[in-house]
Amino acid sequence: MKQSPVQDVRRLHRRLVLRSLRDHGPQPRADLARRLGLSPTTMTKVVAQLLGEGLVTEGGVESGAAVRVGRPSTDVRLRADARHVIGVQVGAGTVRLGLCDLRARVLRGDAFAFDLAGESPERVVARIAGAAAALAGDLLLGVGVAAPGPVDPAYRRNVLSVNLGWRDVPFSDLLEGALGVPAVVDHNVRAMALAEARYGDTAGADPLLYVYVRTGVGAGVVIGGRPFRPGTHGVAELGHLRVVDKGEPCACGATGCLETVAAEPYLAAQARLALGGEPVDPLAELAEAAGEGDGRAAAVLDDLVEHLATGLAGAVNLLNPELILLGGAFDRAPGALLDRLGDAVRARSFPVLRDAVRVRRSTLGPDAGVVGGAAVALDRLFYDA
Ligand SMILES: [Zn+2]
């Protein structure tokens, strides 16, 4: 529906205030007005509208907090529990869901496994809808899916998922039909990067590069506070940078890709060779064995650091990230391994850029995918709506 210019301006002001409350916390309306360059009259109107919708509170004591002494607060604050979204992470054979508030905090979760060979994407999406319906209450704004692979420009279809063997899955149509609320889908690792930038413990680091090491090596970038969606398909294929000359063939058709020497299937194969037995968490088990003096495990980690650093240094020289976060297999890797990786990345990067970049573990941990789906939904259905 076409909106009048007045409605457009009102919506813009509403967005600006909600985002400022999300990013800068509770503040008096005078501070909000100053920060956003809005007049006191405009601010009065916007705050009245948001109070009417139940999205903010003003003054008094935050509900549940202890009685405060001294001057009563005049802060406008976001009511994080006023609306909910559901974040969904689709992995290779697993789905995780979380009901999240307006700060993308997970209130309740669910998960299920599916049979990659035996269940169609439509069947899996129907199961997602069933699980989401069981989690949802009457405050649900919508659903955000973090899917493995590129999505269409309207955030409605997962165009391709190599590791799942799925093509053109219309997540939004199927979920909206089943649940009756808006649904959006985005590339899983870009969603994780967005979640870290908006809701993680990243202190405004920008650009932010998120690297997800699982079945493959995926990357997501947030630049200038916005998810980076280059070109037609909007993906950054860090995992397919060539880091080994005359290396092993990769699923993409090239050889020596980072994914062939850093993803979990490779780490699991190396752990079987070095340690014997079937690893549950190959990277953590290799790191533990190396720490206990196992030379073969240490050699595998040396190669891993070398190859990842080569790929990440390429990303540093191109994008100049302030912060690189590693998630997935790295969620449980020792801090010393991340420190080594950081040193190796800096040693291979351009002098001025190397001083700016930090390499750390994901701050959202195993929830990054679910919070990622929620972050995409919140951006598209609430804070940018
Ligand atoms: Zn490749």
| CA proximity to 13, closest of 42, 35, 41 | 42
Question: What does the pLDDT profile of the chain (385 residues) look like in tens digits?
Answer: 566 888 888 999 999 999 999 999 999 999 999 999 999 999 999 999 999 999 999 987 554 445 555 566 789 999 999 999 999 999 989 999 999 999 999 999 999 999 988 999 999 999 999 999 999 999 999 999 999 989 999 999 999 887 788 999 999 999 999 999 999 999 999 999 999 999 999 999 999 999 999 999 999 999 999 999 887 777 788 999 999 999 999 988 999 999 999 999 999 999 999 999 999 999 999 999 999 999 999 999 999 999 999 999 999 999 999 999 999 999 999 999 999 999 999 999 999 888 889 999 999 999 999 999 999 999 999 999 8
What does the pLDDT read at residue 64? 47
Q: Which domains does the chain have, with CATH numbers?
A: 5-78 (1.10.10.10), 84-193+368-383 (3.30.420.40), 201-363 (3.30.420.40)
What does the pLDDT read at residue 355? 87
**Which phi and psi (to 5°) does residue 303 adopt?**
-65, -40
* 231, two tokens: 């070109």
What is the length of the chain? 385
Q: How far is the CA of 265 from the centre of ligand 1 (A)?
A: 14
Q: How far is the CA of 126 from the centre of ligand 1 (A)?
A: 32
Q: How far is the CA of 252 from the centre of ligand 1 (A)?
A: 4
Pairing type for strands 75-78 and 56-58 reads antiparallel
DSSP 3-state helix, strand, coil percentages of the chain (rounded to 5)?
A: 45, 20, 35
- Give 297-301's long-range contacts (Cβ < 8 A, gap of 24+): 297/271, 299/274, 300/267, 300/270, 300/271, 300/274, 301/337
Q: How far is the CA of 118 from the centre of ligand 1 (A)?
A: 26
Q: How far is the CA of 250 from the centre of ligand 1 (A)?
A: 5
Q: How far is the CA of 229 from the centre of ligand 1 (A)?
A: 20
Q: Is the dihedral of CA 175, 185, 237, 103 positive or negative?
A: negative
Q: How far is the CA of 255 from the centre of ligand 1 (A)?
A: 7
Q: How far is the CA of 251 from the centre of ligand 1 (A)?
A: 6
Model's pTM, two decimal places?
A: 0.93
Q: How far is the CA of 262 from the centre of ligand 1 (A)?
A: 12
Q: How far is the CA of 190 from the centre of ligand 1 (A)?
A: 19
Q: Are 218 and 212 in contact (CB under 8 A)?
A: yes
Q: How far is the CA of 6 from the centre of ligand 1 (A)?
A: 50
Q: How far is the CA of 187 from the centre of ligand 1 (A)?
A: 18
H-helix segments, 241-294: 264-275, 282-291
Eight-class DSSP state of 27: E
Q: How far is the CA of 260 from the centre of ligand 1 (A)?
A: 7
Q: How far is the CA of 330 from the centre of ligand 1 (A)?
A: 21
